[in-house]
Copies of this chain bind each other. A is one copy, B any other.
């Protein structure tokens, strides 16, 4: 809801957002701007008046999805068992990427590199803090794991299955199970290297 817009402009803005959400989810961020405009039933000019750059549009969409995801992570943090809380949050993060190809792309290409997306990334990492702290305190989470590690692990897991149509879209769960086992504190030795530094 942007104030001061004519009613038709307001309506078109909304249509573009809906269309972008659909198309990005289906095809990832490489989807063409023309296709989004077609899906929205508007011209590309209209789209560009509201979102001067494709990245601006992506930011709007990703910010929306992020709000939902943050809520899920906060809900997971309310679970009593520290490990179950972590597991639930990891599955929510992975699920939101698996269900939305645009979100996966955004994590690698935008969240992790573009300054404009910095605050989104920070909010996501902050949401993980209490979960990680609690898991560490309870001795269920492997030593040395930081929120950013979980973000990178989840993204990597979601992208593991080949993206062919004949592959079960839930296959990432197979690999998530392996990673989650590897994340549990146990006989495992110390991890090599530290977590990556945040982008400047």
Q: Which residues of A contact B (CB under 8 A)?
A: 108, 112-113, 142, 149, 152-153, 155-157, 159-162, 164, 166-168, 170-171, 173-175, 177-183, 186, 188-189, 191-197, 199-200
Contacts and interface: CB of A to CB of B under 8 A. Distances in A.
Copies held by the complex: 2
A122 to B, nearest CB: 15
Most buried by B among A112, A162, A183: A162
Most buried by B among A157, A160, A170, A195: A160
A192 B164 contact: no
A155 B160 contact: yes
A196 B162 contact: yes
A171 to B, nearest CB: 6
A179 B179 contact: yes
Contacts of A170: 192-193
B173 A178 contact: no
Contacts of A182: 177-183
A153 B178 contact: yes
Contacts of A112: 162, 164
A178 B179 contact: yes
A37 to B, nearest CB: 26
A152 B156 contact: no
A152 B162 contact: yes
Contact of A188 (B113, B157, B181, B194): B181
Contacts of A183: 178, 182
A166 B112 CA distance: 12
15 contacts: A108-B162, A142-B178, A149-B175, A156-B156, A166-B200, A168-B196, A174-B191, A174-B192, A174-B193, A177-B188, A177-B191, A178-B182, A178-B183, A181-B181, A182-B182
